[in-house]
Amino acid sequence: MNHGPDDQSPDGLDSDELALRRMLHQAVQTVEPRDGTLDHLRRAVPARRARKRQAVVGMAAAALFLGTAVPALVHVSNSTGSDVNPSVAGQASQAQGGASQGKNADGSESTAGGTPGKTQGKGKGDSKGDGKGTGTGTGSSTGTGPSATSAAGAPVCTAAQLGSPTESVAAPDAANTVYGTFRVVNVSTSACTLGGAGTLSTLAQGAADATKITTARHVSGDAAAGLPDPATEVAALQLQPGAAYEVKFAWVPSETCPTTGSSTGGTTDGGSTPTPTPTPTADAGSTSGTGSTGTDSGVTTQMMTADGTADGSVVVSHTTAAGSPTVSATVSNACAGTVIYTGVLAAAS
């Protein structure tokens, strides 16, 4: 139903709306609030507002906690120190209710956090040696190889766990270089980690000149081309029960052994010089008797020389990093040269 402007009340309502308004007013004229309703509203409205504030502050506190805890967790997970504490060190203070939410007593904001500690240790247990030594009459020791650390939790091998040492020496090659191998076995019933390459020493015997015998670690391109590539050496080798490791060496001569000789001879004048085995020969120009009773025997003396090579050898010994056992190999016809040796090599099963 349409009404013109004349049908509207001063409030802008038409006659139908005014009639509906009067009916609603008449319907609620007898309705009255219960006793205490106003007091209830006075208490409920501030409490509702306080709960809203608490919810907002709680969300802010949770965001602050996540902001401090997550970086701390990432830092702990990336730490490599042996004393790293994997627990979260961050803490956040929360206060419930009122306008002082998240504040200290003095009004300053309360934040808490922690950074896990990090400890770095440097061990200096590695043995270092220049790998060179000079052989002497009583033997000379070279520096030990790089020290091995425990692998997969296995303890370092003790002298009681290492045994059954063997050695092998091959015949000289075309360049007169002699190659040899030392082999040591884990004779125990538990796995252990080799504590290093051990030591290598030399001993000159016979005509060998101790001042001309040296030792050196094997490197790429040296004179011992028959030794394994240094890249195959193992710094930390775990030996299972019955497993073995090897150390190989090469004898590279620099000089041959000296020769020996002796001369024998005699005189024809019957002097005191001894003549071991004079050989008489007939002189074609001699005559028998120029007088009535004299004779000329025509005896002469031959000189003899016996030449040969002096007997010299070099004993090469390997001692495990645990101090025992020791295994030795003898290189014959060796008087001057260099012993080139490798580090630890995993023995083929």
Mean pLDDT for all residues in the chain: 73
The Cα–Cα gap between 208 and 311 comes to 8
The whole-model pTM stands at: 0.46
Cis amide prior to 274 (ω within 30 degrees): no
- Whole-number Cα distances in Å, 104 to 89, 111, 112, 207: 21, 10, 12, 92
Task: Give the strand pairing for 140-141 and 162-169.
Answer: unpaired
Q: What does the radius of gyration of the chain's CA atoms come to, in whole angstroms?
A: 52
**Most confident option among 102-106, 148-152, 197-201:** 197-201
**Higher confidence at residue 282 or residue 67?**
67
User: Quick one: CA dihedral 98, 103, 109, 113, positive or negative?
Assistant: negative
**Most confident option among 148-152, 196-200, 336-340:** 336-340
Pick from 154, 264, 245, 254: nearest CA to 197: 245
Pick from 255, 260, 179: nearest CA to 224: 179
Of 15-19, 255-259, 275-279, 345-349, the poorest mean pLDDT is in: 275-279
Calculate mean pLDDT across residues 1-30.
74
Of 41-45, 207-211, 310-314, 324-328, the poorest mean pLDDT is in: 41-45
**Most confident option among 85-94, 169-178, 274-283, 289-298:** 169-178
Residue 269 has pLDDT above 70, yes or no: no
**Higher confidence at residue 281 or residue 209?**
209
Residue 180 has pLDDT above 90, yes or no: yes
